[in-house]
Copies of this chain bind each other. A is one copy, B any other.
Amino acid sequence: MIVKEINHHMDGNDISLAVIKRLPRYYRYLEELLDNGVERISSGDLSVRMNVTASQIRQDLNNFGGFGQQGYGYNVAYLHDEIARILGIDHTHSIIIVGAGNLGKAIANYANFEKRGFVVRGMFDSNPSVVGSECRGSKVMPMEMMKDFIRDNGIEILALTIPKTNANEVARIAVEAGIRGIWNFAHMDLTVPDNVVVENVHLSESLMTLSYNISRQK
């Protein structure tokens, strides 16, 4: 028996990546409107501010539900909170950082993440001379402790800021321990099971894209 899929995508897994990648930007603009005391906004007004089409905004939002009202537009506070809920940032997430180098420390010290509910619960490093050092009020632990730490503390997210050499091995252990997502800064593609999410931040690739665009500029 075929059940017609309901509109609001309760299964949630058929929304295109392009749409999902735009949600945080909507969220950022709504936050700003909220800070400026703006109560409501139409897709037309928002489209001008964000430099996208009003059509796209309405299409994107309607993937998740009808958050607006004809003749009125969208209530900023309400839409803001709905997007937070969609993004899963209406509750906290526990993170550990593996790799206590410059980048790992930068992320650990990044206050804004905590504001969004991403809480750094621990840091790990394989280098004995780094282990034990303090970073943002917590001591850097040795790699051997990672697996149990993930299990014991229900860690959801692993921020991976180590060279590519050991990245897949660390990922494998973290997956075994039940990690849900990996924020990958290592310069390689991780191999993980389907139920584990990987979000790549390949800084050198981003810089190469910039280089390309500069080169092609008249």
Chain A positions near chain B (C-beta within 8 angstroms) = 12-13, 20-21, 23-25, 27-28, 86-89, 93, 101-103, 105-107, 109-110, 112-113, 116, 118, 156-157, 180-181, 183, 187-188, 195, 197, 199, 201-218
Q: How far is the CA of A204 from the CA of B8 in the complex (A)?
A: 26
Are A204 and B102 also in contact (CB < 8 A) when A28-B187, A88-B211 are? no
Given A24-B202, A181-B213, A199-B210, list of 8 further CB < 8 A pairs?
A20-B209, A102-B106, A112-B204, A116-B208, A157-B214, A195-B217, A197-B217, A199-B207
- The answer to whether A23 and B212 touch (CB under 8 A), given A105-B106, A118-B207, is yes
5 nearest A-B pairs in the assembled complex, by CB-CB distance: A88-B215, A102-B106, A24-B205, A199-B210, A12-B216
Shortest Cβ distance from residue A218 to the other chain B in the assembled complex, whole angstroms: 7
Q: Which residues of B contact A106 (CB under 8 A)?
A: 101-103, 105-106
**Chain multiplicity (copies):** 2
Would A93 and B211 be within 8 Å (CB), given that A106-B105, A116-B204 are in contact? yes
Q: Are B110 and A203 in contact (CB under 8 A)?
A: yes
Q: List 12 A-B contacts (CB under 8 A).
A: A20-B212, A24-B209, A86-B212, A87-B211, A101-B106, A102-B109, A106-B106, A118-B207, A197-B214, A199-B206, A199-B210, A201-B201
- Select which of B21, B101, B215 is within 8 A of A209 by beta carbon: B21
| Contacts A89-B208, A201-B203 given; does A181 touch B214 at CB 8 Å | yes
CA distance A27 to B101 in the complex (A): 26
Contact residues in B for A201 (Cβ distance below 8 Å): 201, 203, 206
Closest B residue, CB atoms, query A180: B214
A210 close to B157 (CB less than 8 A):
yes
Residue in B closest to A25 when the chains form the complex, CB atoms: B205
Q: In the complex, what residues of B have CB within 8 A of residue A20's CB?
A: 209, 212-213
A187 and B71 CA atoms in complex are apart in Å by: 32
Check B187–A210 contact: CB distance below 8 A: no
